[in-house]
Structure 1
Amino acid sequence: MFKKLAVILLAFSALACSEEAKPKPKGELRLEYPQPHYQAFTNPCAYTFEYSDFAAIADAKQACWYNLRYPKMKANVFITYFQVKNDFDAHVKEVEKMVYGHTIKASAIETKSFSYPEKKVYGNVYELKGESASNIQIFITDSTRHFVTANLYFNTRPKPDSLAPAVDYIKKDLLHMIDTFQWK
């Protein structure tokens, strides 16, 4: 009886070890977000734009300041408005101070300017790479009377690889916001 059991165990172990053991590949989480449908953001302020229905607008601390919230992504775009009163350069310097204040953690900062002279919409988009607290910062102006900033922040520790799909999604929404931005 012992011989038969030993032969069976030996046969099973020979069959079990015939293939080389391979480690399982590490699984990655696939994040998919809905196709955006845009709606007009109207307000009593000096500007309007379109934003994704995946986001919600909430009032902020001051008049004409808003939070564009992406609750499923735990993200906020803080939108601020300033009326320019001979202090245009000060507003631009403040934006640059906010952007370049992230150089401690950011591995790169890509700056792209945009200009829509027919609508008097001008500005810059700053995309911050790496473990920066803010991933995208924007300013929009007519260069004489109005100045708007938009800053993207996530309610989580900065993890560039994990946040990349959400950043890309919101970046497309913000670029659409710029394309549809108009002064009243």
Structure 2
Amino acid sequence: MIKNVIFIFVSLLLLSCGKDPVPKPSGELRLEYPTPKYQKFENNCAYSFEYSDFSKITDAKRPCWYYMSYPKMKAKIFITYYPIQNDFADHIKEAERMVYDHTKRASAIDTKSFEYPEKKVYGNFYELKGQSASNLQFYVTDSTRHFVTAYLYFNTRPKPDSLAPAVNYIKKDMMHLLDTFEWKK
């Protein structure tokens, strides 16, 4: 009996010699992306713009179509070009259809129109909130000969909270792209 009491006493003594538990402090994910350095995108197409050196541009399926990839973010901007041939209204409708197809999952759509008359650059920039497959989209036109669209996609399920830092970073790049967008003569 004494052996059992001593055994229990020693066991309790050994178990109680640990450190006091400390709750894990709450922390937030901190994603840092490099400050972009912009370079001019030159091609044989009717347009040019500046893009971040954090991204890479590769050819897509057709002439003057490109993928601007952000490999570390698993994101791509799909850029398309169409010459206008008496079908300007059709291009506008298709660009808007691509935006509003996402209303099933988007909680809101912010539309910003922009125009740079000195460069003949006009268009709309769309920011889709919520669990949309494409968070940012835009179209650019000179309204007579050229029409360019761009759509941002991530190679992951849409999770607005997790993707927000990447979306905000790419949004700044896309806004810079639009600010520097020009038609070639």
TM surpasses 0.5: yes
Q: Distance in 2 between matches of 1:88 and 1:128?
A: 24
Q: Distance in 1 between matches of 2:140 and 2:53?
A: 22
Q: Distance in 2 between matches of 1:167 and 1:157?
A: 14
Residue 151 of structure 2 is matched in structure 1 by 151
SS at match of 1:72: helix
Residue 42 of structure 2 is matched in structure 1 by 42
Q: Distance in 2 between matches of 1:78 and 1:99?
A: 14
After the TM superposition, which segments of 4 or more aligned residues of structure 1 sit over 6 Å from their partners?
A: none
**Cα deviation 1:125-149 (Å, max 9, x = unaligned):** 0000000000001000001100000
Q: Distance in 1 between matches of 2:24 and 2:113?
A: 45
Residue 139 of structure 1 is matched in structure 2 by 139
Q: Distance in 2 between matches of 1:26 and 1:83?
A: 53
Q: Match of 1:91, as an amino acid?
A: H
**Cα deviation 1:35-57 (Å, max 9, x = unaligned):** 00000000000000000000000
Q: Distance in 1 between matches of 2:155 and 2:27?
A: 25
Residue 104 of structure 1 is matched in structure 2 by 104
- State the Cα distance separating 1:29 from its structure 2 match: 1.6
Residue 30 of structure 1 is matched in structure 2 by 30
SS at match of 1:63: coil
Give the length in aligned residue pairs. 181
Residue 65 of structure 1 is matched in structure 2 by 65
SS at match of 2:176: helix
Residue 116 of structure 2 is matched in structure 1 by 116
* Alignment TM-score, normalising by the size of structure 1: 0.89
Residue 90 of structure 1 is matched in structure 2 by 90
Q: Verify: 1:174 aligned to 2:184, yes or no.
A: no
- State the Cα distance separating 1:22 from its structure 2 match: 7.2
Q: Match of 2:156, as an amino acid?
A: T
Residue 125 of structure 2 is matched in structure 1 by 125
Q: Percent identity over the alignment?
A: 70
Q: Distance in 1 between matches of 2:87 and 2:156?
A: 34
Unaligned ranges ≥5, structure 1: none
RMSD: 2.4
Q: Match of 1:125, as an amino acid?
A: F
SS at match of 2:157: coil
Residue 52 of structure 2 is matched in structure 1 by 52
- How do residues 157-168 of structure 1 correspond to structure 2 at under 5 angstroms? 157-168=157-168
Unaligned ranges ≥5, structure 2: none
Q: Match of 2:51, as an amino acid?
A: Y
- State the Cα distance separating 1:23 from its structure 2 match: 4.3
**Cα deviation 1:6-65 (Å, max 9, x = unaligned):** 7xx79x97xx88xxx874343322110000000000000000000000000000000000
Q: Distance in 2 between matches of 1:110 and 1:80?
A: 22
* Alignment TM-score, normalising by the size of structure 2: 0.89
